[in-house]
Structure formats: C-alpha cells, structure tokens
Amino acid sequence: MTFPVKLNDYWMKLKRYNYYTNDYQAYEFYSEGPKGHIRKLVIFTKVPDTEPPIYNLAFSDARADTGELDDAVISNNEDRDIVLATVANTIATFCDHYGNHYIYAEGSTASRTRLYQMGIAGLWPEISTDFDVYGLKENDWQAFKPYGVNYDAFLVKRK
Amino acid sequence: MPTTAKHTTIQKGFGPAIISSEVKNHADDPFVIKKVAKARETLKRVGLPDIKKK
C-alpha cells in the first residue's frame, strides 16, 4: 500500500504508537506506561444532517474489565504526547480515506476538553502547518490560539 | 481481510494504520451515539466557522 500523504517534516520527529483499523473509521492502539497496557480507541462518525459533512471524533479508553468505552477514565500513563501524536495520525489517515472533512471534537467534561486543548497546543507547530483548527468560544468558532483561551470544542480540517 | 496480531511499538514520524479485522466498528456503541448526538446539537446551534474571521 502506498501512503499518499506527505505531512511536513515536523511530524518526522514525533513519536507515536502503531495503530490498527478495519474500516478507517475506528482505530485502536495501546498506551504503554507505568499503569500498564491500556487500549485506546479513536472513532470517526458522520454527524447526521450536516452539509458539508462533519465527522465527530470520539476518543476513549476501553475499560479493562468490561471493554466498554469510557472517556471519563484518566489513565495517567505518562505518555500523553505519544498518545496525542497517535490521535493526530489517525485524523490524517481518516482524511486520506474519506476526504478532508471537518472533524469535531469535544471532551465529555470541561477538564477533558482542556486536556485536548493542551494536546493540540503541545503539537501546534506540527498541527498548524497541516490543519486548520478552530476553537468554540461563547457559541462562536474562532481561529485556534494555543494559549490564553479555554475552548468548549474544536473543529479541525486538513488544508 | 487478514487478521494482524496487535502489539505495541513506538514509531517515529507519520505512518499508515495497520489493517486488523479485530478492530470493531463501534458506531453503535452508546458512548459514540451520545457523543455524536452532542456534536449534532452543538453544530446545529453554532454552524461552521466563518472562514473570513480567521
């Protein structure tokens, strides 16, 4: 399989986990750290009645006991940057197969959304060159600023 | 579709996904349905960005 996307050179320095898919809409990878081997899922789902199409990004741990998805879990596996770089990889792979659609992401709680924001900010040199990113603030989309604003949700579109 | 044994390795740089028939779709998972409903509600209210604001 050839991989058509050539993202900027910044990406080449990033560490990421290898990640798995069956349909290019659901992705799975494993976080490795002091808390052990944690299964993570990234799922892209078209939001009904959106035109142009918008896909929701759901990111979650799978509970070790039941396998259920639960993004309220804080795994603290000391690999946040690797995890977030892996999620960014899944976005680019999804776009390769389904097109450069808008992708919406929001945490289940304000603190989880803040964690996403910290992740985007931490990878901003890589993300900003390949993706347009917007943050939702007071019911208005704004061009994402990595610091100084707490957003309620995010919208990403590959350039 | 071939099944690939999953194991974790840390890679550097951008790379493709590995195909595995073990990865389920999850579109009908209650967690995903709830997230999509919330996204739909928010997007219905706020729409898409006005690109001119960028």
pTM listed for this prediction: 0.88
- A63 contact B CB<8A: no
Cα B39 from chain centroid (whole Å): 13
Residue A3 lies in a domain: no
Residue A49 lies in a domain: yes
Closest approach of A21 to chain B, Cα-based (Å): 5
Query: What CA–CA distance (Å, rounded) separates A159 from A133?
Result: 10
- Among chain B residues, the shortest Cα distance to A42 is held by B26
Residue A124 lies in a domain: yes
Proportion of chain B in helix, strand, coil states, percent, rounded to 5: 35, 10, 55
- A78 contact B CB<8A: no
3-class secondary structure, A104: strand
Residue A1 lies in a domain: no
Out of A17, A50, A134, whose CB is closest to B8? A17
Closest approach of B52 to chain A, Cα-based (Å): 10
Amino acid at A15: K
Kindly determine whether residue A45 and residue B27, on different chains, have CB atoms separated by under 8 Å. yes
pLDDT at B53: 44
Digit-coded pLDDT (tens) for A8-20? 555 656 788 999 9
3-class secondary structure, B44: helix
- Among chain A residues, the shortest Cα distance to B4 is held by A20
Cβ contacts of B45-54, under 8 Å, gap ≥ 24: B45/A139, B46/A136, B46/A139, B46/A140, B46/A141, B48/A52, B48/A54, B48/A102, B48/A141, B48/A155, B49/A134, B49/A141, B49/A142, B49/A155, B50/A141, B53/A141, B53/A142, B53/A143, B54/A132, B54/A143
For residue A155, what pLDDT band results from cuts at 50, 70 and 90? very high
DSSP for residue A47:
P
Query: What CA–CA distance (Å, rounded) separates A94 from A103?
Result: 10
Digit-coded pLDDT (tens) for B12-24? 666 789 999 999 9
Kindly determine whether residue B53 and residue A143, on different chains, have CB atoms separated by under 8 Å. yes
- Among chain B residues, the shortest Cα distance to A109 is held by B35
Looking at the 3D structure of chain A, how many domains does it have? Answer: 1
Residues of B in contact with A92 (CB under 8 A): 14
Amino acid at A98: Y
ipTM of the complex as predicted? 0.86
Residue A4 lies in a domain: no
For residue B50, what pLDDT band results from cuts at 50, 70 and 90? confident
Residue A80 lies in a domain: yes
Q: Average pLDDT of A50-68?
A: 90
Residues of B in contact with A18 (CB under 8 A): 8-9, 11, 15, 18
Residue A101 lies in a domain: yes
Length of chain A: 159
Of residues A38 and A9, more confidently modeled: A38
* Residue ranges making up the domain that contains A97: 9-158
Digit-coded pLDDT (tens) for A67-98? 788 877 777 889 988 998 899 899 999 999 99
Residue A37 lies in a domain: yes
Residues A33 and A79 sit within 8 Å (Cβ to Cβ): yes
Digit-coded pLDDT (tens) for A119-147? 899 888 888 988 999 999 999 999 999 99
Residues A88 and A100 sit within 8 Å (Cβ to Cβ): no
- A47 contact B CB<8A: yes
Residue B52 φ then ψ, to 5°: -65, -20
